[in-house]
Chains A and B, each alone.
Chain A
Amino acid sequence: MKKTLALTLAAMLLISCVSFASAEATQTLTVVTWDATTTPYLIAQKEAYEASHPGVVIEYVDVASQDYPIKSTTMLEGNDTSDIYMVKELDDIIKWQSQGFAEPLNAYVEKTGYDLSGFVGTEVNYSVDGELYAVPFRSDFWVLYYNKDLFDKAGQPYPTNDMTWDEYADLALKMTGDGVYGTHYHTWLSAVANWTVADGVNTLADKNYDDLLYFYQLYQKLEDAGACMAYAELKASGLHYSAAFANGNIAMMPMGYWYVSTLINYNKEGTCNFNWGIAAVPHAEGVKAGSSFGNLTGAMINAKSANKDLAWDYISWLGGEEGAAATASVGARPAYVSETVAAAMAAVDGFPTDDTSKGALIPSFVGMEWPVAEKVADIKTIVNEEHSNIMAREITPEEGIEEMNERVAELFQ
């Protein structure tokens, strides 16, 4: 009797100790990011990290995606102490580094013996003078989405992983008709003319834009033939590419890899119910098949954070194999590349099962949508302004490219 009592007491003591200890050990990491409640990979990452690191809570500070640049900048300028900021655009990190907001990470890498090889060199984009400032955790590159049902109905072969842009245009024209658009271009510069950087030589900051001409002419040819919706209409209606493709009357659409998880979700919710697949984006003559361009998403530690070590633990986990697995589990593409991760990506429920789609998961080259370069923000403005002029047919592609060349040259005078 006494023994039981003692045991019970001891057990109670133990339990209270444990619960007390765990209550004390609860640490919160605040992460500033966008669309936190609806982005599947953010939810998956949080769940996975919290499950494997008891006592740590990830708290997202949610900002609407289109407000992110201004809101994050204001917060940092205002001495915000959130531990981690996610990096949306490549030049954000350069900006934040130059302003002293980003914690230098080399020391942490050394201290923890962190292996960067899984990033296959992409982390260079987050480095300034050899010092790392952010860890990439997502790397999106562009692929070609296509509606299998439409191709079956038209009796045309599916797009392959090795097509030139001309072949693609022919296919688009063949698929057009009966209320079906052969292809779809979103209004962005990246959807229409960014392809020039896939050769690994050109960048959009190299001050010469003559190589964009081919892609603008290709686009105008397709638009004239009614093979894609007109830019002017898309811009005016604000029609989102996700809804456009989900409508089921678009045969092909070049778009970032991120759209995979949206499509999987659409299939599950029943928003769209056709079969789709992905293929590598077409390539220009003389450029290796499977070449594409893309963008990185990463995370940096706020220099004013009070939990830098824990923050490093989180972002290093995020970029590493385990974080990558969580990211890939919902159809997003992690920056960390390994066999396991690729297998995880292909194994996602709802991902197309054909070999072309699986093959498209491994691009042969990924150029950066926008490079890190001097005055790149100004160049971006100029190129985008002329892009809208060309696309709305206010000027010819030749005139627009002439303008780009001239205005960018003026910038450096």
Chain B
Amino acid sequence: MEQTIHQKAIRKDNPVLSTIFRVIIYIMLLALAVFTLIPFVWMISSSLKLDREVFAYPMKWIPETFHWENYRLIWQKVPLLTYFKNTAIIAVVVTFLQTLTSSFAAYAFAKLEFKGRDTLFLCYIATIAVPWQAYMLPQFIMMRSMGLYDTLWAMVVLQAFSAFGVFLMRQFYRGIPTELCEAARIDGLSEYGIWARIMLPLSTAAIATLVIFTFVSTWNDYMGPMIYLTRDVNKTIQVGLRRFIQENSSDYHLIMAASLCSLLPVSVMFLALQRYFIEGIATSGLKG
């Protein structure tokens, strides 16, 4: 105890030490950032090379000549714009439905008492645990008989009701003090009112998280669209990317260019939403 007070005294009294501390943190962060970004640098450099230069050895970080035309080629070689459009539609609809229904259901799981709650919740978790490959076939046969095969709706219903969102929101709602709900109930708010006026505003950080994750995972989903979408007009970007890998050739430079392009919308999404991680409960003045 004495020692800690001592340390604290040092830190308070010694601005040099605390500056050094900060500098160390920044150096660590920078090192980690470099580690994180190096593969992307390689991707960018590859996207500006010729196919056979991509794996040429020894590796060159800066291409001999910059092949900017790769970024034009990707739009010409495959209908990338259609793929973008489809992916965007699916991602937006899924994200909206997922967030809405999940936060609704999560409220019941986190704050309401009812019969069979735990069993039902375990059902949700259990399905997360089953690999999709295992039930893909029954699911496919069912969806087909509903006439959803090769429609964008197939991807929507497939992903909009995932158990993951419910689980995530429930965990966040559990962190919100139950006293708040009880106080509201005494004030005469209905359960729907509590959800809309108390839980939702308090969980902006959680909702932002869910929105980002749903959007990203829908955007990057590969297996689902691969199985369910067949005609070119319905395909998504990730499936479209595969068209650059052929049986007898593979255009890795174009894959890199196209996947860098597909990175853009999601990054924008993230940048737009990330401020909600800073705001959130901390600034709303409500605490347990």
Touching in the complex, A and B, CB below 8 A?
yes
- Residues of A in contact with B (beta carbons under 8 Å apart): 34-35, 37-39, 61-67, 70-71, 74-75, 77-79, 237-240, 242-243, 246-247, 258-259, 262, 271
User: Could you list 4 further interchain pairs (A-B, Cβ under 8 angstroms) beyond the known A34-B247, A243-B250?
Assistant: A37-B78, A61-B230, A64-B239, A74-B140
What residues of A have a CB within 8 angstroms of the CB of B78 in the complex?
37
- Residues of B in contact with A (beta carbons under 8 Å apart): 51-52, 54-56, 78, 136-137, 140-141, 144, 149, 226-227, 230-232, 239, 242-243, 245-250, 252
In terms of DSSP, what is the predominant structure of the interface of chain A?
mixed
B245 near A66: Cβ-Cβ < 8 Å: yes
A74 near B55: Cβ-Cβ < 8 Å: no
A74 near B249: Cβ-Cβ < 8 Å: no
In terms of DSSP, what is the predominant structure of the interface of chain B?
helix
A242 near B249: Cβ-Cβ < 8 Å: yes
B52 near A78: Cβ-Cβ < 8 Å: no
- A62-B232, A64-B243, A247-B52 given; A262·B141 CB < 8 A: no
CA distance A214 to B184 in the complex (A): 81
Partner of A243, one of B52, B140, B144: B52
CA distance A253 to B228 in the complex (A): 39
What residues of A have a CB within 8 angstroms of the CB of B248 in the complex?
35, 242, 258-259, 262
A74 near B137: Cβ-Cβ < 8 Å: yes
What residues of A have a CB within 8 angstroms of the CB of B247 in the complex?
34-35, 39, 65-66
CA distance A65 to B242 in the complex (A): 9
CA distance A37 to B231 in the complex (A): 13
Partner of A78, one of B56, B140, B231, B250: B140
- A34-B247, A64-B239, A242-B248 given; A78·B144 CB < 8 A: yes
Question: Which 8 A-B pairs give the minimum distances between C-beta atoms?
Answer: A65-B247, A64-B242, A78-B144, A243-B52, A239-B55, A237-B55, A242-B249, A240-B250
Residue of A nearest to B231 (CB): A61
Residue of B nearest to A78 (CB): B144
What residues of A have a CB within 8 angstroms of the CB of B56 in the complex?
247
- Least distance between B222 CB and chain A CB atoms (Å): 9
What residues of B have a CB within 8 angstroms of the CB of A71 in the complex?
226-227
- Least distance between A268 CB and chain B CB atoms (Å): 14
